[in-house]
Amino acid sequence: MRACSEIAKQAADSREWIRPAEEVEFGVEVAESLAPADFTGEALDLCMMAAYFTDSAAREDTDDYIARKCREVVSRLTERRRRVDPEHLARRIGIVTNVVHHKGFGFMTSGHQDYFFHISALWATATSSPLVRARFLPSHPARCP
């Protein structure tokens, strides 16, 4: 799943969808062949990331066949996550937009919603660079005075 997720990310970055759509579909077939007990939290996160990037292809590719195949792959990845751990569907991928290192917190955006996080709760490698993608479990939207 790690290679599948990385291929999907590279495709999203380059906007070339045909080869990655096939590779991600192969990854889904492998994931579907595994028993739910064989999945770790990391494997589920990688399924989520592959679905996130493949969904970009479904929305952005002008070829109807590729877009339809990508939507199918996203659906299959989501179903695999649901069967293994239904609570995992609440997790999101967000973009870290601001980190205040000296205070130990920051903000990330997922969809059109901003979230506050404590640096110890950031599940991706924290860097000082803004716009880092991270996986997280949202609790409450950020509220700024």
- Best-predicted range by mean pLDDT among 47-51, 52-56, 78-82? 78-82
Instruction: Find, among 86, 14, 91, the residue nearest to 51 by Cα.
Output: 91
In the sheet that holds 113-118, the strands lie side by side as 113-118, 105-110, 92-100, 132-136
Going by pLDDT thresholds of 50, 70 and 90, the confidence category of residue 144 is: very low
What are the start and end residues of each CATH 2.40.50 domain in the chain? 92-136
The whole-number pLDDT of residue 78 equals 93
Q: Over pLDDT 90: what percentage of the chain?
A: 10
How many contiguous H segments (helices) and E segments (strands) does the chain have? 4, 4
In 7-131, beta strands by DSSP E:
92-100, 105-110, 113-118
Does domain 92-136 sit in CATH 2.40.50?
Answer: yes
Question: pTM for the complete prediction?
Answer: 0.69
The whole-number pLDDT of residue 82 equals 92
pLDDT, greater one: 49 or 6: 49
